[in-house]
Amino acid sequence: MVSEWNQIIGTIRAIGVWDIVDIVIVAILIYQVIKLIRETRAMQLAKGLILLLLLYFVAYNLNMKTVRFIMQNLVATGVLALVIVFQPELRRMLEHVAQTKFNRLNIFQSSQEKDSQLAGVWNESITTIANACEYLSKTKTGALIVFERETKLGEIIKTGTVVDATPSNELIGNLFFVNSPLHDGAMIIRDGRICASGCFLPLSQNYTISKEMGTRHRAALGMSENSDAVVVVVSEETGTISVAQGGVIERNFTIPQLEQRLRHEILHSHEGEQQKQNSVKALLRKVKK
């Protein structure tokens, strides 16, 4: 017993700093993977994969040649099969990674100017869209409005019709009017302008949301799960205004609350990004001197 304890202590002492870092990184990766696939069909597939690995371990130790042969062949082709089966989850995982703070390095982003003039455009647009939502809510006209932020929504825009217009109560009301050909899709707001309408959004795979929420709410939630966009939904049945962001949907917004939320999420994040860019530029100027 003493010798075993001494062996354990010796092993612990042999662990270096980089070994600890290695273990921590692996633990974080495993935790993030479990967090991403939790409550999805991928979780059930992961459980099945663990059972197969346990079966292979038992067959290997008990020298069950036939089972071991089958399991070895499954492992040989298993990587390709997993990529195919887990394709939606892998894509979602990569999209989540792309939404981290690393995307603010602007390596793959366009050199689009984000100045005070753009903030002014956003300010007017938010007021106009909030007023339009008040009308849509009173008339119980269903609406789905996506505010693009850091994550670019080019693929989503391609599914709809490009509008490229300044927001107005009349235009928004006409686009979401029941007999309009674009009323069923989503409206994309980019840089304070109506970029496109009638766009198709990815539906959320979260089956725990209330059954009172229809396809619009599920689409809004799905869009918020796959990007950093802020999505506003107006219910066609009740006229209730909801906001989806970060995979969470909040309901029963009043117009002042909606306007305040949009200003906080869009204008404040824009100002914060502007300050960071100015700080980096100032630092580079100091380095050059």
Structure confidence by residue, pLDDT tens digits, 185-219: 999 999 999 999 999 998 887 777 777 788 899 99
Domains annotated for the chain, with CATH where assigned, are 2-105 (no CATH), 116-277 (3.40.1700.10)
pLDDT at 111 (0 to 100): 42
- Give the range among 136-145, 149-158, 161-170 with minimum mean pLDDT: 149-158
pLDDT tens, 99-109? Answer: 554 454 444 44
The answer, yes or no, to whether residue 75 has pLDDT greater than 90, is no
Half-sphere exposure of 242 (CA within 13 A, CB side): 28
The answer, yes or no, to whether residue 267 has pLDDT greater than 50, is yes
Which residues 6+ apart lie within 8 Å of 69 measured at CB?
none
177's tokens: 């009017």
pLDDT tens, 9-24? Answer: 666 667 777 778 888 8
Burial 256-265 (b: 16+ CB within 10 A, else e): eebbebbeeb
Residues facing 161 on adjacent strands = 197
Q: Model-level pTM?
A: 0.61
